[in-house]
Structure 1
Amino acid sequence: MRRFAAVGLLVLALLAAPQPAFAADASYRTLGAANNPDWMAPLADATSLAALSVPGTHETMSIRGGILTQTQENFGDSGGTLARQLTAGIRMIDIRARVNTGDTFTIHHGATYQNANFDDVLAALAAFLAAHPRESVVMRLKQECTGELGSCTDVSGQRGFADIFDAYVSRNPGLFWTPSVNRSAAAATPTLGEIRGRVVLAVVNGPRGGPVERYGLAQFAGWDDGSSTYVQDEYTVPNVGAIATKRDQVRRFLDATRAADPSLMYVNFASGSSLFAQPQQVAGGAFGVQGVNPFLLNYLNQTSAARTGMVMLDFPGSGLIDRIVALNRG
């Protein structure tokens, strides 16, 4: 029994202390050095959203909870972190919401509240798009709480998730591209000219995956938990050694995106984690294993990728953001 107790204490100690990860560089933990607030502005109105190379963030608001839950650099609570990401050039965001009292959404990563509410998200988006009206932001919205161990539990006695979301849309007229927030009819993939100054809802996912109602883009009707036809999200990386497998999954999906019909939109999650491979390690590398972010930057620098699609990143660096944005300039 003492031996098992000692092992348990060792595991707890390892989890409590930050584990080795590669130092910040152009690919990792340097988002604050990126400045691309108007990169969509010069692109032709006729350009399809699907044809773009778009830097995004996985668990966009997750800056709290320690090494197992933090996925982004901390630029402030409420909307501060999102605002800085948008200025850096991030144009697809991943928002995870808990149903809270008063028919509201609070932002969570699992059980951890991220010191932000959905109103903060919408306010940051509205302010940015008012200042940069030729830009657009794509949002994936997910009902976060499953009620299971390690997750959160929605507050009982509230309206349904879709009804609460509809109320937010009504209180923020003109913020969302209207065809994407019609819960009964999914939208075709738009052109930039249709969505400038607006938020495009790509999908609303339920707590265990699967789309909620018919919000978003028709192409993502099959977006479930993990990967689907147009989404690579192999998020379980069981240990540091398995980061190599995740790198290969990201690369192969990039290659598929480059070869695919440019009218189809692809979403490639570069993120991953587990108890023994924390988000920072998967992104930046650890114990001599190259992380996904430096691998991705090197790969994009060495290939002639026509487009990346939407690339969802943990702890992105300025060089990686800049490289993805630059692909839109040919």
Structure 2
Amino acid sequence: MLKKTWLCLMLLTMLVVPLAGAASAYTSNNWMGEVNGSLSLSSLTIPGTHDSGALYEPVYGTAKNQDLTIAQQLSIGVRYLDIRTRHFKNAFEIHHGAVYQQQNFDSVLNTVISFLNSNPTETVIMSVKEEHTAAENTRSFEATFNAYTSKNPGKWLLTDRVPTLDQARGKIVLLRRFSATQLPKGLDATAWKENTTFTIQNTAANLKIQDYYKVSDKAKKWNDIQSMYNEAKNSNPSWLYINYTSGYKPGIFGIPDIRDTKDYVNPKVLDLFTANTRGRFGISAMDFITSEHASKMIATNF
């Protein structure tokens, strides 16, 4: 009897221990620390936000894109930030269109760098785009950007190739949506097209982006999102896929309704990642992301 009991316990241990060891002990702050560092960033599923700094609006539904601050976004696992900057008096203000978002680029960078210093296994892919009308400057947008990066040069990875996670850990990877003369300066996304799905094929990196944002047909928007997820999951892992789930309904006199698209799309994104628990889905750039969205995306990496 004792021998049988001992054998049963041994068999149970053999079954349980490998399963326990297979579980990834990550949190939303350090989930990349559990990912194989030799993998390219293009091989991952990465939660992100569209117009990451857009927290304020003069009229409901017209300019706000997030409920969470950038610090809160990072804490729930967001690793792609879409930063829109107005060039004003040789500095960058955060804008959504004409609407000043009551913060500047220094505050964004301080938040991101502080997070990376506390979580050195992580990286943040940062899209930087010029927004609204430049005014009262004595230098180029690129020169002002250089002034920012020179404050913390060790925290930036300005490679024009999609890096591995180990190469990017602890750093900001630039996705550049502004022209530059000093190259390489980040992943070159200056050939960004408006309101469609498109590819950018550079010598060093290939990108595919879905950014249908004037959403007159919500069913089409969702089909475009799904198509990108399916392609990212089943295609060449060297391509970087960026899938903007965001958009707005064009209203009377061109007034946008941002929440109309979000209310339709965000529950569908959640359902998709509830059903698809493993695989490579690229970057999702969302409006009004939640911790539930982010956690389900992150889980597909394990």
Q: Which has the larger radius of gyration?
A: 2
CA distance, structure 1, for counterparts of residue 290 and residue 149 of structure 2? 32
Residue 305 of structure 1, CA deviation:
5.3
Residue 195 of structure 1, CA deviation:
0.8
**What are the within-5 Å matches in structure 2 for residues 129-168 of structure 1?**
129-145=116-132, 153-168=133-148
Which TM-score applies when normalising by structure 1? Answer: 0.75
2:280 counterpart of 1:300: no
CA distance, structure 2, for counterparts of residue 212 and residue 310 of structure 1? 24
CA distance, structure 2, for counterparts of residue 224 and residue 174 of structure 1? 31
- Of the two structures, which has the highest relative contact order with CA contacts closer than 8 Å and spacing of 6 or more? 1
Structure 1 runs of 4+ off > 6 angstroms? none
Of 174, 178, 200, the match for 1:201? 174
Aligned twin of 1:37: 29
2:44 counterpart of 1:61: no
The amino acid across from 2:54 in the alignment is S
Residue 204 of structure 1, CA deviation:
2.4
Unaligned runs of 5+ in 2: 1-26, 200-207
CA distance, structure 1, for counterparts of residue 247 and residue 126 of structure 2? 19
Counterpart secondary structure, 1:174: helix
Residue 47 of structure 1, CA deviation:
1.2
Stretch moving more, 256-265 or 224-233? 224-233
The amino acid across from 1:216 in the alignment is G
Counterpart secondary structure, 1:40: helix
Aligned twin of 2:297: 324
Could you tell me whether the CA contact under 8 Å between 2:276 and 2:300 is conserved in 1? no
2:118 counterpart of 1:116: no
Query: Which has more strand, going by share of residues?
Result: 2
Aligned twin of 1:71: 65
1:171-220: per-residue Cα shift (whole Å, max 9, x none)? 1221211x33xxxxxx2111011010000002223xxxxx55553225x4
Residue 45 of structure 1, CA deviation:
1.4
Residue 248 of structure 1, CA deviation:
1.0
Could you tell me whether the CA contact under 8 Å between 1:258 and 1:305 is conserved in 2? no
Of 57, 77, 86, the match for 1:89? 77
Unaligned runs of 5+ in 1: 1-34, 76-80, 146-152, 181-186, 206-210, 285-290
Could you tell me whether the CA contact under 8 Å between 2:277 and 2:296 is conserved in 1? no
Aligned twin of 1:23: none
Counterpart secondary structure, 2:156: coil
Aligned twin of 2:219: 244
2:258 counterpart of 1:279: yes
CA distance, structure 2, for counterparts of residue 301 and residue 157 of structure 1? 48
Residue 82 of structure 1, CA deviation:
0.6
Cα 1:157–1:303, aligned 2, differ >3 Å: closer, same or farther?
closer
Aligned twin of 2:211: 233
CA distance, structure 2, for counterparts of residue 312 and residue 109 of structure 1? 15
CA-based RMSD of the aligned residues comes to: 1.7
Could you tell me whether the CA contact under 8 Å between 1:68 and 1:275 is conserved in 2? no
> Percent identical across equivalent pairs?
33
Could you tell me whether the CA contact under 8 Å between 1:140 and 1:201 is conserved in 2? yes
Could you tell me whether the CA contact under 8 Å between 1:99 and 1:158 is conserved in 2? no
CA distance, structure 2, for counterparts of residue 200 and residue 140 of structure 1? 9
Aligned twin of 2:9: none
- Count of aligned residue pairs for this structure pair: 259
Could you tell me whether the CA contact under 8 Å between 2:53 and 2:94 is conserved in 1? yes
CA distance, structure 2, for counterparts of residue 304 and residue 322 of structure 1? 11
The amino acid across from 1:228 in the alignment is F
Which TM-score applies when normalising by structure 2? Answer: 0.81
CA distance, structure 2, for counterparts of residue 297 and residue 305 of structure 1? 14
CA distance, structure 1, for counterparts of residue 52 and residue 138 of structure 2? 25
Aligned twin of 1:190: 163
Residue 222 of structure 1, CA deviation:
3.6
CA distance, structure 1, for counterparts of residue 128 and residue 75 of structure 2? 21
Cα 1:217–1:157, aligned 2, differ >3 Å: closer, same or farther?
closer
